[in-house]
Structure 1
Amino acid sequence: MGIERNLADRKGKDFCELPKETITNNRSRRNRRRSSKKMPPVQKLFETCKEVFASSGTGIVPPTQDIDKLRSVLDGIKPEDVDLRPDMPYFMANASHRRPKITYLHIYECEKFSMGIFCLPPSGVIPLHNHPGMTVFSKLLFGTMHIKSYDWVVDLPPETPTSVKPSQSPELRLAKVKVDADFTAPCNPSILYPEDGGNLHCFTAVTACAVLDVLGPPYSDFDGRHCTYYTNYPFPNFSVEGLSIPEEEKNVYEWLQEKDQLEDLKVEGKMYSGPTIVEN
């Protein structure tokens, strides 16, 4: 738009006497050049998120075709697209903490979705936490990470107890392990749904690694989407009358208990400094 305004402000005879078709052709060529310029990957991700999460809200999962579209865009993003390298200070272990400091690079957030990157040094841990009513996309940009994720157990027969209240302790709820494995980039993005896919998860950096996260909608205390952390216990640690799990399946069930405090977790927020997002 700035180009056309500058031309219109010119008072010279040469511009005024240009044939109409010449002006149109020049403008068409400029438009073609603009359209042929490749959109930066992070801008494409932003534009796709705007479409996919346009109607997002607590517990609302985007349509399958939108899920696939956003997954495809995320899958194509590389570390260099967001100006990250494994030798940057974010990924160096800090000996002053038992757990290395984690850096969160804030890219964008609105009421519909958020975009950001977690930078973890070796042995960095993002403790077990939930994503209430949220659909979450995670893309491992580089490195190796151990991911353990759970879903709350809701598919047992009616009247089967799935919680236990120890004396003087917070309630424990039964969860089923969905993933417990190492992942090395490049690998497929992971998707967590409000009730499925491993909505509760823990990240442990085997090597220095970076994770691009997209949340729709983002955390919001005002809207009841609180980030809650948990401690996990093996299933045999607690017995509940009326709850029976086959012996061969007991290793995929664990008890999760809310934590009031997190020890040694240090996350430093920084503004993202990669390619700029343009809001239209």
Structure 2
Amino acid sequence: MSELAIDTEAAEAAFGSFGATCLYMTYDPVTRQCLAASAGHPPPALMDPDGSAAHIDLSPGPPLGVGGLPFEPVAFEAADGSVLALCTDGLITRGHADPDEGMSALRHALSAALVSGRSLEEIGPEVVGELVPRPLADDVTLLLAEARGVRVRDHASWTLAADPSVVSEARAHVLGQLSLWGLDDLAFTTELVASELVTNAIRYAGGTIGLRLIRAASLICEVSDVSNTQPRMRRARATEEGGRGLFLIAQLTDRWGSRYTRSGKTIWTEQALPPGP
């Protein structure tokens, strides 16, 4: 979630450019761990299943475009049933001179609304309407998400050496796990995806390689390596023998992407699960 910095005239005068604040957060449904970093943006709020609520203690870096300092990620756990709330600062500064007062009001409103047991789709507009007087003078966004981890039987992971011989081993792991899950219809595509990503990690990254399958709302295949170099999809020339791997993956899967980790990067793909019986 990002927004244009509110005081754009001051930012332009001070830095000679425009800036934008940004909050970036990932959630791992296997470990139940969140990782968040802020570029001058309000921190996320976490409402635990027991009803307690708190904003995550981040160390924000400068807004994007107005500074070159590194951004410090903070890790925290989100138990099953917890609710994460991300918002633009228009929600917590509107009507509150002190942002801390606005964040406190947000936590109180969310805690009170969540007690009702209603859906997040109903709670969101109600909380915004309670906190922000009309008419709106600033953009206001509230994003609510419930943390739902996956069961132990719905994920599998393997650690592989950076050796070409492990590619066949990776394919065997994938085929065996999909057979246990009754997802043989996805075997061909997932085997190809895992084979291509593991091969690329061996060729360009080296070091230990992680392979993980997650069965959730979709089938997720992840390959992690120790390199910080992000993949780039391109269309290979007819005379080139390689360069088609990511292009094929993009065509065969529903979604794919890459994210940085503390030790390198992870490339992930998603495929829709076949309809149940």
TM-score higher than 0.5: no
TM interval, short-chain normalised: under 0.3
**Highest CA radius of gyration, 1 or 2?**
1
Structure with a larger share of its residues in helix: 2
- TM norm structure 2: 0.23
Query: Which has the bigger relative contact order, CA under 8 A and spacing at least 6?
Result: 1
